[in-house]
Structure 1
Amino acid sequence: MKKRERKTLFTIYQGVDEAAFELIALATTSQEAWKILKTYDGVDKVKKIRLQALRAQFEVLQQEASETISDYFSQVIFIVHQMRRNGEELKDVRVIEKILRSLDSKFDFIVVAIEESKDLEVMAVEEYMGSLQAYEQRILKKSEGRTLEQALQTKLSSQQNESSRGGPQRGRASTWRGRGGRTSNSN
């Protein structure tokens, strides 16, 4: 019986956040821990205040230009789960609409395609995330190709400049042409 009690208490410990854990850390039985948690989470006023703060966070969420789709989705889903845990009835379609509205402008094309071609009420949030991640990978692949192409072009143009000047200018007497078009050697 003691073993079962310890397992139950351990399971409760594993299922709470740090703030709740601090409250129940001194509980010696699972019933005592559960009673503390009910008191902690059961206060309607606290839940309402917490829910208002979460709603505000949800509304102002905006993807940063440097943020990946998976990072942004994780942030949104984390807030959505907290809202639901505090009693908010938040439908997936509202979450999807929020995500599509708040994506960075580089996703405008895919957002329009998704809104036109797919029924937002039928698909799961994860399916949208998959579509957006595939698009993001295509964008990254194209930009990597452009970066490599630009680097090679720069190297090629610098090599062409060196060969047209007769190679690198190091170690030679410097010659310069002034405004008058004359050439003079430095002493």
Structure 2
Amino acid sequence: MRSLSAKEAWRLLQEEFHSDEKIRNIRLNTLRSQYDNMKMKENEDIKGYTSKFMEVVNQMKIHGENISDAKIVQKILGSLDRKFNTMTIIIVESKDVTKLSVIELKRSLLAHEHKFSKNEENTSS
């Protein structure tokens, strides 16, 4: 086995790092595209959708993306199914969404969803 000079070792490390960096950037671009195209499906509930959404966000963060809660909150509110339009309006009108955490948003949406489903049960009975 031949020993490497410091210069050769450094060059190999740089090539390896550059390759890893390219792969990370490709993966991050794929995740950004997924994030940009996220839309809640008609049959999804808040818990399922926000879990799926946050999985993409967490993967983006792992790959070096710096994304604020305010941006995430805005994206979630803008990507909900139209059946949640009233909830979205209520949340936007009653809270400062720029200071709202993702956890607080999820709690509010779950509470509104629960109340909405109870109202639907009562009207269909």
Runs (4 or more) in structure 1 with deviation over 3 Å come to: none
Note the C-alpha offset of 1:126: 0.7
| Root mean square deviation, CA, Å | 1.6
| Count of paired positions | 109
For 1:1-187, list aligned pairs within 5 A: 43-148=20-125
Supply the distance in 2 between the matched residues of 1:145 and 1:114 (Cα, whole angstroms).
24
Gaps of 5+ in 2: 1-15
Identify, as 1 or 2, the structure richer in helix. Answer: 2
Supply the distance in 1 between the matched residues of 2:92 and 2:123 (Cα, whole angstroms).
29
Larger Rg: 1
Note the C-alpha offset of 1:121: 2.4
Identity of aligned residues (%): 35
Q: Could you list the per-position Cα deviations for residues 118-146 of structure 1 after superposition, in whole angstroms to 9, with x for gaps in the alignment? A: 11222210111111111111111122223
Gaps of 5+ in 1: 1-38, 149-187
TM-score (norm 1): 0.55
Structure with greater contact order relative to length (CA < 8 Å, sep ≥ 6): 2
TM-score (norm 2): 0.81
Supply the distance in 2 between the matched residues of 1:60 and 1:76 (Cα, whole angstroms).
11
